[in-house]
Amino acid sequence: MKIAVLGLGSAGRRHALNALELGHDVLGFDPEAEDVPGVSRVTSTDDAVAQADAVVIASPSSLHAEQALLALSSGRHALVEKPLAVTVQDAARVVEAAGDTKAICGVAMNLRFHRGVLALRELLVDRALGSPRFVRASFGYDLRLWRPETDYRKSYSARAALGGGILLDAVHELDYLLWLLGPVESVTAELDRVSELEIDVEDTALLALRFASGALGAVDLNYLEPAYRRSCTVVGSEAVASWDWNAATISVRRGEGERELDVAGDIADTYRAVLEDFVAAANSERDPRTPVRDGLAALRVVDAARRSANRGHRVAVS
């Protein structure tokens, strides 16, 4: 397959190298980033799309919807880096465009391929925890450490105009919670910049979720912590499962008993798996593991969180 990668920053470079490793021909467009060995550089987004069978969109978040629409209107399969778009309205336009074509469209939510999330899903599907009652998902890491070779103040993460902010950057947590527990009905949220980071977006997000199933959830995300932290705890009617990213384990506790699951793995494998799944979906005309409609569902929760933070009360997800 000939794959065009739009945006050759850290995410795009990774996608391009994975595509090359998997045996695909790769075109790349980025007005600023350095060349990637093995990638044929083209001079415009239009040229990249015109020459490709599929398009991977890894540009700043503010360009995701526009470039996805270009790819889909040209009949090209599209894999969009998270988030699908910056607004619900734009994301809905991408979903509609995907429905109007036979092209496959997915969102690159690599945590759906992580052994920790997959093990939690298996526990829930097998009813090993009983009925899920409460979930807590957390992520935190100092933004200045995310891409130490670059000035964080110039990154898309730091700038509202480019679709930055921890809520969109860590939309992985919302996506996998929806995958594990189903749709969210309403949200209460606090969003703020509480650090000295030189950014014009929120560095901290606290969300309280009410799922359609009746379960409750808590999500805390931040750009602040000096050491990487990611975790998820699911409290069920029969047992509790706690995933710790750093320990690479899930502990399952029931009464006095406890067992530990090893979920260690190379994070690089999850990015490669996203691309492999997308290509397989395109070749077989099936949905990828994270279809475009799921990207919209996560953004509806983001939108509800922003409205809640602005209004100071719980709002429905719509």
Q: pLDDT tens digits for the chain (318 residues)?
A: 999 999 999 999 999 999 999 999 999 999 999 999 999 999 999 999 999 999 999 999 999 999 999 999 999 999 999 999 999 999 999 999 999 998 999 999 999 999 999 999 999 999 999 999 999 999 999 999 999 889 999 999 999 999 999 999 999 999 999 999 999 999 999 999 999 999 999 999 999 999 999 999 999 999 999 999 999 999 999 999 999 999 999 999 998 899 999 999 999 999 999 999 999 999 999 999 999 999 999 999 999 999 999 999 999 999
164 with 173: CB under 8 angstroms?
A: no
Task: Give residue 201's pLDDT.
Answer: 97
Q: Which helix (H) or strand (E) holds 181?
A: helix 171-181
Beta strand 105-108 with 240-244 is: unpaired
* Distance in angstroms (rounded) separating the CA atoms of residues 99 and 77: 12
Residues 3-15: tens digit of each pLDDT: 999 999 999 999 9
Domains of the chain: 2-110+271-290 (3.40.50.720), 111-265+299-316 (3.30.360.10)
* Distance in angstroms (rounded) separating the CA atoms of residues 1 and 283: 9
Nearest partner of 252 among 165, 101, 124, judged by Cα: 124
Task: Give residue 185's pLDDT.
Answer: 98
Query: For residue 230, is it left (φ>0), alpha (ψ between -120 and 50) or beta?
Result: beta
Task: Give residue 255's pLDDT.
Answer: 87
Q: Which helix (H) or strand (E) holds 66?
A: helix 64-73
For residue 30, give the 3-state DSSP assignment: coil
Residue 217 token pair? 């959830």
Please enumerate in sequence order all residues whose Cβ is within 8 A of that of 27, keeping only pairs 6 or more positions apart, or say none: 2, 3, 4, 5, 39, 40, 41, 42, 48, 51, 52
Chain Cα centroid distance, residue 219: 15
User: Which residue pairs, CB below 8 angstroms and at least 24 apart, start in 253-261?
Assistant: 261/119
* Distance in angstroms (rounded) separating the CA atoms of residues 106 and 284: 14
* Distance in angstroms (rounded) separating the CA atoms of residues 256 and 265: 29
Share of the chain residues as helix, strand and coil, in percent rounded to the nearest 5: 40, 25, 35
Torsion angle (degrees, nearest 10) of CA 57, 113, 179, 7: -10
* DSSP assignments along 274-310, one per residue: HHHHHHHHHHHT---SSBHHHHHHHHHHHHHHHHHHH
* Distance in angstroms (rounded) separating the CA atoms of residues 35 and 16: 11
Task: Give residue 125's pLDDT.
Answer: 98
Longest dimension (CA), the chain: 63
List the Cα angle 102/104/105 in 5-degree steps: 130
* Distance in angstroms (rounded) separating the CA atoms of residues 295 and 178: 10
Residues 49-61: tens digit of each pLDDT: 999 999 999 999 9
* Distance in angstroms (rounded) separating the CA atoms of residues 84 and 82: 5
